[in-house]
Amino acid sequence: MAFNSMTFLFAFLPFLLLVYFLARGRGLRNGVLVLASLIFYAAGGTTALLALIASIIGNYGLGLGIEAARARSARSARLVLSVGVLANVGLLGYFKYSGFVIGTLIRAFGLEIQVPSVVALTGVSFFTFLGISYLVDIYRERALAARNPLDAGLYIADFATLLAGPIVRWEDFAPQVRDRQESVPTFAEGAERFIIGLGKKAILAGGLAALNADVFAVRIGALSVLDAWLGAIAYTLQIYFDFSGYSDMAIGLGLMFGIRLPENFRWPYVATSITDFWRRWHMSLSRWFRDYVYIPLGGSRVGNVRLVLNLFIVWGLTGLWHGAAWVFVAWGLYYGALLVVEKLVLGARIERIWRPMRHGAVLVAVIVGWVIFSAPGVYAALDRLQVMFGLAGAPLTGPRTIFYLVEYRFDLLVGIILSMPVGAWVAQRLERAGSSAIGTIARTVRPVGFALVFALSIAFLVSTSYQPFIYFKF
């Protein structure tokens, strides 16, 4: 079930809100959310549901085991933690990577073994990372283990974050399990945030997805340089509105139930360095790898050789986390290489480069990254990049170029404008208007504006074929 489906919008969510707010007591409301989350995830099949329940029960028991083992010795606690981390990694590895690993071994060594048919679980990368965070935060004494299995279940299985994040740490989520407060202003804030996300997905991402699909449906040898760039730019905008839209919807849903989730995006396409970009894009994943992988490896407080190794380990794993394919590993290592250059070659000198030039260089680097990320394979990515940079003998423009620019002009123009903090700037100015005439008009029109975005989003969803969120496959 997806947030942009009619079933979710007009059946699941309204019914859940009714039952939740009729329930009395924090324990009962948590139980309603856990049950609803399991029903929500059951749309993925019995295997998916059983794997999620096993993750909840296993991590709940291991969390209590870490605290009990700590009373005996730190070594015992580390042993239980190691078992728990390996169990979560094993669950992720089996359902996501077993076919990839065996297929790679078959091709590398000519083995005659059958590739296992394993059902891919939507969201497995997310809830296994939550399980690891749960255990590590308990081990580090950042938060206590849940005494009630429903509390652990709410953290790991919360339907708002289950399929595509944001990835919230247990130390940040734990205080909200029992002590959160629902209120009308918070609910209204959540509803507005949800509508913003729905608009991003339904209105903006859809048209951009069509442009990208149109461009790369053409035989690569028939594309012009500008065609290939238009397709790449369309995907760059599409994935931003698609994924940040999902995050907005998830954060909005959390607020409706009194839960504050971490921000996941902060205008990434205005970044002036690759480091800055990853502080703005999928922020919860970047923090997860920083806290649970990069810093334990020694972070940047090591020699240059070790720093390079740490960066490539983290970014190789980041790429592999996104998908069981070498093209994702290549994408991760590409960013690892860019960060090595930025940290060890450019260093502090990067701040002395003219800001627009830095911004332009980052945008080109990010667009190239999305070409690798979206390609069906490494060779396909190289073919696309050769066309984009004029290395394949392609003409600068072609008969389709004008068609793409005219047909998708509004999608591209609005997408580019709204990928920058224009809306936030306008909102700040209106807020500063206070009780002035402009401020009064803005507050009056605001509900109408959100109602219009919601209505337009539904119209787009009804009139177009169903498109799942890009990050569902991760």
Q: Ranked by mean pLDDT, which of 210-214, 378-382, 458-462 comes out on top?
A: 378-382
For range 125-133, the mean pLDDT: 95
Amino acid at 325: A
Amino acid at 105: L
Cα dist from 353 to 339, 356, 430, whole Å = 17, 9, 34
Annotate 402-455 with DSSP letters as a single string: HHHHHHTHHHHHHHHHHTTTHHHHHHHHHHHHTTSHHHHHHHHHHHHHHHHHHH
Give the H or E element holding residue 127: helix 124-139
Cα dist from 461 to 161, 279, 458, whole Å = 22, 32, 5
The set of residues, in sequence order, having a beta carbon less than 8 Å from that of 9 and lying 6+ positions away, is 3, 458
The answer to whether residue 369 scores a pLDDT higher than 90 is yes
Amino acid at 178: R
pLDDT at 2: 87
Residue recorded with tokens 């076919």: 99
Please report which confidence band the pLDDT of residue 466 belongs to, taking 50, 70 and 90 as the band edges. low
CB 173 within 8 A of CB 155: yes
Please report which confidence band the pLDDT of residue 433 belongs to, taking 50, 70 and 90 as the band edges. low
pLDDT at 266: 95
The set of residues, in sequence order, having a beta carbon less than 8 Å from that of 211 and lying 6+ positions away, is 230, 231, 234, 404, 407, 408, 411, 412
Q: For the chain, give the percent of residues with pLDDT over 90.
A: 72
CB 182 within 8 A of CB 90: no
Please report which confidence band the pLDDT of residue 473 belongs to, taking 50, 70 and 90 as the band edges. low
Amino acid at 424: A
For range 241-262, the mean pLDDT: 96
**Residue from 193, 201, 287, 322 carrying the catalytic annotation:** 322
Q: Whole-prediction pTM value?
A: 0.92
Q: How far apart are CA 473 and CA 465, in angstroms?
A: 18
The secondary structure of residue 348, as a DSSP letter, is G
CB 164 within 8 A of CB 472: yes
Can you tell me whether residue 281 is helix, strand or coil? Answer: coil
pLDDT, averaged across the chain: 91
Catalytic: 359? no
Cα dist from 14 to 9, 10, 19, whole Å = 7, 6, 9
pLDDT at 442: 67
Which ranges constitute the DSSP H helices of 267-394? 274-278, 283-289, 304-322, 326-340, 355-374, 378-388
Q: Which of 377, 289, 265 is nearest to 339 (CA)?
A: 289
The answer to whether residue 172 scores a pLDDT higher than 80 is yes
pLDDT tens for 220-233 read: 888 999 999 999 99
The answer to whether residue 113 scores a pLDDT higher than 90 is no
CB 169 within 8 A of CB 270: no
The answer to whether residue 12 scores a pLDDT higher than 70 is yes
Kindly report the number of other CB atoms within 10 A of residue 10's CB atom.
Answer: 11
The answer to whether residue 46 scores a pLDDT higher than 90 is no
For range 384-413, the mean pLDDT: 92
pLDDT tens for 53-69 read: 999 999 999 999 999 99
For range 372-401, the mean pLDDT: 92
The answer to whether residue 310 scores a pLDDT higher than 80 is yes
pLDDT at 474: 62
CB 441 within 8 A of CB 267: no
Please report which confidence band the pLDDT of residue 429 belongs to, taking 50, 70 and 90 as the band edges. confident
The answer to whether residue 430 scores a pLDDT higher than 80 is no
CA 311, distance to chain mean position in Å, is: 20
